[in-house]
Structure 1
Amino acid sequence: MQNARNFYINGQWVAPAEANDFPVIDPSTEEVSETISLGGQADTDAAVAAARAAFDSWSVVPKAEKMALLRKLLEVYNARSEELAVAMSKEMGAPIKMSRAAQVGAGSWHLEGFLKAFEEMSFERDFTGSEKTLLEPIGVCAMITPWNWPMNQIVLKVVPAIAVGCTVVLKPSEISPLSGVIFAEFMDEAGFPPGVFNMVNGDGAGVGSQLSAHEDVEMVSFTGSSRAGRLISKAAADTLKRVSLELGGKGANIVFADADEKMMRYGADRCFRNSGQSCNAPTRMLVEASVYDKALELAVEVANTTHVGPASEEGKHIGPVVSELQYNKIQDLIQKGIDEGARLVAGGLGRPDGLNRGYFVKPTVFADVTNDMTVAREEIFGPVLSVMKFETEEEAIRIANDTPYGLTNYIQTPDTEKRRRVARRLRSGMVETNGQGFAQGSPFGGYKQSGNGREGGTWGLEEFLEVKAVSGWAAE
């Protein structure tokens, strides 16, 4: 990759101030697929300075011109989508079919949604006959994105910020940076003015911390672990910058007795998708006692029939988890589940049969889990499902809400009144019911330690705006 070791600053590809090579590992093979460079303070400062210099002019560019550039970006994105699919498959292990459809598709879907929302959005609103409320860009924004859904998160942050007139410094995850480099090429090809978008690779302790504390950054938008979110909030506190956080989750999937078998299977399949590496995965399956054995049987069947294989392999399967560190963490948590008395009914420790290399994890199901067990409390971020029993609706709600997280919960029942009643009482930013996905532009975000702020559509655009009240607007 031509620009792998370079950064995109002020409309140019530039070498790092000091070389600091970092290998990008293919999790299917454990081999180095590319080498990037990690940035330092000088690179961070240069990117922020470029964004700061570009802000005054970009913030007043007419909406129509911004729309034209964003449409061009979508055109470039779609034309070069195969490059993105291959890059994400190699860097984070998404099977190539899934990478093309879901990983690449998530970015274009959100970009299309932002174009629709932006076209309809008004930045001047009447408050009274003589007073106007203005929505204005907050300024220079730092975007720190994760490795598990690279394009999903880059588009959810960069596109709305730039659309409303902010300028941006992107730090992709150093574990999956190649798609971020390609996205920077897209921005350059689309023709955005110098300094509007900048990209510096680096790790959390380096560029991530530098951006979070930088006095010329007005806002940080971060997606990742709750632990890292706390560190970013502390680093940002000295400059009182706005911080938007999309963090972890431990979603409860409440399966009532009247749910059909399709919905029971769906919960397990949804947990294992992307090798369990989704913050909104339904990793706790809460099943009404009368159908507990049946739901458990179906979850085990799903686990045992979920094929695990290399990301380069065509077909419908799950790939490896992203890194050796993540693999070891998952293995430790599976062992902890066994040690704490959860009943292992599928999967377990080690790699699946036939795979002796790569960070592959067996789709795993624990039965008879209690909500005080580690596998029910911690975000495992792997294909591990914890199944537990409930007797009453009240008990299901109590168990579901008994978590420090609050991102996405799930409900399976054909009873409309019950579905609505339970959804109102679940403490999470999103509640998916009966496998019905969310609409384009729906607000994505959580309660409690799952973060703050919302991404997507109008909510995502407003995230990067300040509100200004102006009196005496009407002519005298």
Structure 2
Amino acid sequence: MTSLQHFIDGADVSGGSERIDVVNPATGAVVGSVPAGTAADVDRAVAAARAAFPGWSQTPVDERAEVVRKISDGIKERAEEIASTITAEMGSPITFSRKVQVSMPIGSSKSISKLAADFPWTEEIGNSLVVREPIGVVGAITPWNYPLHQIVAKVAPALLAGNTVVLKPTEVAPLTSAILASIATEAGLPAGAFNIVHGTGPVAGEAIAAHPDVDMVSFTGSTRAGKRVSAVASDTVKRVALELGGKSANVILDDAELGEAVKVGLGNAWINGGQTCTAWTRMLVPAARQDEILEQLVGAAEKYSVGDPTDESTRIGPMSSTAQQERVASYVERGISDGARVVFGGSGAVEGLEGGAYVRPTIFADVDPDAVIAQEEIFGPVLSVIPYSDEDEAVAIANRSIYGLAGAVFGEQDHAMSVARRLRTGQVDVNGGAFNILAPFGGYKQSGNGRELGRWGLEEFLETKSIQQ
């Protein structure tokens, strides 16, 4: 069991007697605890970050880049420890933890460090010198589904830009944040440049968002919570970057290669047990080919083993918590009561796994585009198959959502590209295009604003000044 404290000004700091347990969702066992942080804890962390800002912001860019590069190297060196920790605290299958949960923060921090040399920190435009400078103290609030990746996607570019950071990691899966603090210290990051305050969103999170000495808040989480962060932060007119929910559509065109479309489509719907904001949870299919596609889907779904996340053969582990298990189960019941047809999975416990936070991966067919399960983010392994009559209807259905984070199109390449351009969403994969760690990541509509990763992720943490001469 790991008992953590806050990390403020380069040292562990006691957070008082009230603690929050970290529970392994596969077993129900308590595997750690963190302090229930208060506004006073946030004050102390912000003061440390504010004090460290002058020195860190004036550190030469190449030296800041070297620290970020060393952080990437440190994550790589402790990869197995990190993967095992994530599996224990939120249930990602160990193979997925190794291949994705750890590799993404290694890649994002390394790629960010390489941007420093060629980034236009200054440029001349007419008689103006345009200078890009750090914003100041950045508050980062992160979720549980990709606990380390979501932290590093904010902290690495914020630090490279010259900012100092106060992080509130999720209380559901906070343990890897302490590993990152250790890695950052070993990488040469000065005390106060990176601070961690544990606790809940309504207390510690809101204290960060409201704090007058926090210059920017970068938040990843639900749209509901993101709206609250925006409202709280508005009193101080600080910059707010939001990466929120999604209900991404995978449009399978009539000229698609169905085998690949179904295999990749299901994989991206159920990735990380469906606990992924970009998950393709709506599969839009030609009505005349729905039965053919469903047959292939069921065959592919049968290969998804549900079980112990420490077993290397497991493809879907437990949900992150019993609360998430109950949420997903309620949506499955709602889909059934609203008349969607279950073709795989359904309600009820997973046989032999009644003791953990498991759900039955489920595929619904004949889903009404406006049904609750087709419109609300479930955040579990639940796929809605929605038939369409023609391409225009498919695009209209895909865009008929409050969200716009991700999506996919499968079909003849040029045809698929033309449809991808019509989707109102932040990123679209065509015919299984691979994730690009250097491409901008973010959403339209209520999926948020701003961008993470690559050059765009670095720009989020910079102010722009023009000096006329």
Same fold (TM over 0.5): yes
Q: Which amino acid counterpart does residue 182 of structure 2 have in structure 1?
A: E
**Aligned: 1:347 with 2:384:** no
For 2:188 and 2:451, the matched residues in 1 are separated by: 28
2:274 maps to: 276
Aligned to 1:133: 130
Q: Show the counterpart of 2:442.
A: 445
Asked if 2 retains the 8 angstrom alpha-carbon contact of 1:114 and 1:457, the reply is: yes
Scaled by the length of structure 2, the TM-score of the pair is 0.98
State yes or no: 1:241 paired with 2:243: no
State the shift of 1:62 in Å. 0.3
The superposition leaves residues 411-466 of structure 1 with CA deviations (integer Å, 9 ceiling, x where unpaired) of 001x2322221111100010111111132311000000000000001000000011
TM superposition shift of 1:359 = 0.7
Identify the range of structure 1 (59-68 vs 367-376) with the bigger mean alpha-carbon deviation.
59-68
Using the TM superposition, give the Cα deviation of residue 352 of structure 1 relative to its aligned residue in structure 2, in angstroms.
Answer: 1.9
Question: 1:11-410 maps to which residues of 2 (within 5 A)?
Answer: 11-16=10-15, 18-128=16-126, 130-260=127-257, 261-410=259-408
Q: Check if 1:5 corresponds to 2:4.
A: yes
Three-state SS of the structure 1 residue aligned to 2:452 is coil
| Stretch deviating more after TM superposition (93-102 or 298-307) | 298-307
> CA offset at residue 313 of structure 1?
1.3
Offset at 1:316? Answer: 4.4
**Secondary structure of 1:86's match?**
helix
Q: TM-score, normalised by structure 1?
A: 0.97
1:304, 1:347 within 8 Å by CA — same for their partners in 2?
no
Amino acid at match of 1:225: S
**Unaligned 5+ runs, structure 2:** none
State the 1:24 CA deviation.
Answer: 0.4
Cα-to-partner distance string for 1:319-343 (whole Å, 9 max, x where unaligned)? 1110111111111111110111101
Q: In the alignment, is the contact (CA less than 8 A) between 1:98 and 1:316 conserved in 2?
A: no
3-state SS of paired residue (1:430): coil
CA deviation string 1:335-379 (max 9, x = no partner): 110111101111011222221210111110000001111000100
Instruction: Kindly state the Cα deviation for residue 98 of structure 1 after the two structures are TM-superposed.
Output: 1.1
The number of equivalent residue pairs is 468
Q: CA RMSD in A?
A: 1.1
Aligned to 2:427: 430
TM-superposed CA distance for 1:59, in Å, is: 0.9
Write the distance in 1 (CA, Å) between the matches of 2:288 and 2:347: 30
Residues in 2 aligned to 1:250 and 1:75: alpha-carbon distance in whole angstroms? 34
Distance in 1 of aligned mates of 2:191 and 2:303:
50
Q: Give the Cα separation in 2 of the matches to 1:52 and 1:341.
A: 55
The 10-residue stretch of structure 1 (217-226 or 346-355) with the greater mean CA deviation from structure 2: 346-355
Percent identical among aligned pairs is 45
